[in-house]
Structure 1
Amino acid sequence: MTRHGAVAASWIEYRRDWTPIEAEVIEEALVTIYINGRELATIMSTPLEQDHLALGFLKNEGFIGGLNEVTDVHISRDGCCVDVWLDHSVAAPKRVIITSGCGGGVTFDDPSIGIEPLRDEVRLEPYRLFDLLNKLHYPGSLYARARGSHSAGLSDGVELLVQTEDVGRHNTIDKLLGASLVQGIETNGRILLATGRISSEMLRKGALMGCPIIASRNSPTSMSVSMAQAWNITLVGYVRRDSLRVYAHPERLGYVDPVQIMPVAGD
């Protein structure tokens, strides 16, 4: 079965008058990841690039350290099952955390612990973020065709190196990491771009990828702001055509005046 990420749909639209519309809506399905023949997780996802989703998820959750540990990846004909075989056994996770946001993400670790502060001193002019975020929604993308999708990108500060889309914002980050593994693209020291809210699990995924700047069109959460402050990550939200907000470590974007960003209450 061939999946296209969006499916044909029709609706009646009102703009001063009623008009029938034939177009597309974003595709959503349950995608189950198996590791060495055992079910690991089922994720609401757009069934495209499921191999990248599975590989990125396994890397972010610590089941693999690199692509060299993977002996085979197989996607079922209906696109809803991904079998990943490794050259080593894995222990079953002790607990499952259902993360916030669309798609009902899954993680097996407390997203707020276990990461050392990043030491990369990448510098970037703020206007670069305006340009890079705009490139995520290109003509012919799922968003352009059907709306309802999130996008993520990995950049060197000049160009987008990898780009992904999915109905789930956290899935876009896993797909991004999986695509980077397959294409041999280094994520350390790169800029992570997203269109969705940056919550704690999103921040954690970016930190594990070694991204010192994480920027989104949307808002961060209180926990992600605290984590970014502690992990030396420049966290940027509400990137618009000519404005943005920096919640942690603005020095990477050229802010040179002394600044004291207030810790989030309760942390």
Structure 2
Amino acid sequence: MGCKGVQTILEASRDVQFTRFENGRWQTVDGTVVREDLVRLHVNGQELARLMCTPRELDHLALGFLRSEGFIQSMADVRLINVCPSQTCVEVWLRDASFEPPGRGIITSGCGGGITFADLTAKAKPLDSDLRVTPGQISRLLRSFLAGQQQRGIHTAALATGETLVVVTEDVGRHNTINRLWGHCLVAGIPTRDCILLSTGRISSEMLNKAARMEIPVVVSRTSPTSLAVALARAWHVTLVGYARRDSLNVYAGQERIAVAEAVDEASACDLGAGHRHLDREGCDQPRVVVARRGGEHDQSLARGPPLASRRRL
């Protein structure tokens, strides 16, 4: 694959001046806001999509978008990619010269003007994975994930294996962060199968679709998934975790991949290490797990003893 043109490195934010009301008075403040630009994606000389995004590493974004939509399968399908110096367009030339842009795409629920040409309800092959994770592992990954955020007001996604964050991406659009991950992995030759996906954004059907196609069996978010994302996760055997916090998480699908028995042992070890005293959750990485059922939620607390709210340090 060739590459022409020089990518100008643009900041992900812009300086702004605004007024803040605090302590009963107005004050002028200098700050920053996340940058959002419109970028045109051309394939074989024809416009395929317009993406609202953060204008940096657009080659990864474009390649990830093409892969997630099924227009390419690997870097071998790409002959040339060019990001214009102004960062307002990306030109991709495929080895398949007969490629024609499809019809109108689906505007997705992702902020930043998401669009997909895929059928979000189409059947996918259920994931067959032996991957198991513990609540403590998720908690530690999330802690590292959030500690590395460079800026507020922007979505972040990460690909992890074990206790390690392999790739971290940021964008104004949460769906764009997944495309960036996939594009980065394509270029770097990083396998995505049996990895863990973490996101600061709501998991929509589009994002779940991308994760399933990347063969990622565990998807973790800081917030709630959509109803269609939950349905797809259950159909495709994807473990879907929402509202992940230091001391709790909700499991909406695929509970069998959450190693609760191991987590109970670890949580008990926390108590034993403290001289058999009941502790609050500080110093223990084991969060409370809430499993979503069709008839409601089921509280599956991992630590022994009284509810967390009633615990006090002795």
- What is the TM-score of this pair, normalised by structure 2? 0.78
Q: CA deviation at 1:50?
A: 0.7
Alpha-carbon deviation of 1:255?
A: 3.9
Of structures 1 and 2, the one with the larger relative CO (CA 8 A, separation 6+) is 1
Computing the radius of gyration over CA atoms, which structure comes out larger, 1 or 2? Answer: 2
Residue 175 of structure 1 deviates from its aligned partner by 0.5
Q: Does 1:91 align with 2:100?
A: yes
Contact 1:228 1:234 in 2 (8 A): yes
Task: Output the CA distance in 1 between the equivalents of 2:146 and 2:35.
Answer: 17
Q: Could you tell me which residue of structure 2 aligns to residue 155 of structure 1?
A: 160
Runs ≥4 in structure 1, deviation > 6 angstroms? none
**Residue 211 of structure 2 corresponds to which residue in structure 1?**
206
Equivalent of residue 119 in structure 1, options 128, 148, 166: 128
- Note the residue ranges of structure 2 that are not aligned, 5 or more in a row: 1-7, 262-290, 297-314
Matched ranges for 1:1-267 at <5 A: 1-16=8-23, 17-88=25-96, 89-138=98-147, 141=150, 143=151, 147-255=152-260, 261-262=293-294
User: Offset of 1:184 from its aligned partner?
Assistant: 1.1
Aligned identity (percent) is 47
- Code of the aligned partner of 1:234: T
Gap runs ≥5 in structure 1: none
* 1:214 positional shift: 0.4
Q: Is the 8 Å Cα contact of residues 226 and 263 (structure 1) preserved in structure 2? A: no
SS in 2 for 1:225: helix
Root mean square deviation, CA, Å: 1.8
- C-alpha displacement of 1:260: 8.8
Residue by residue, what CA displacement relative to the aligned partner does 1:163-200 show, whole Å, maximum 9, x if unpaired?
00000000000001001111111011111110100010
CA contact (8 A) 2:174 2:201 kept: yes
TM-score normalised to the size of structure 1?
0.92
| Pair 71,133 (structure 1): closer, same or farther in 2 beyond 3 Å | same
1: distance between equivalents of 2:217 and 2:133?
A: 11
Deviation, 1:20, is: 2.3
Deviations 1:40-81 (A, max 9, x none): 000110101111110000000000000111111111111010
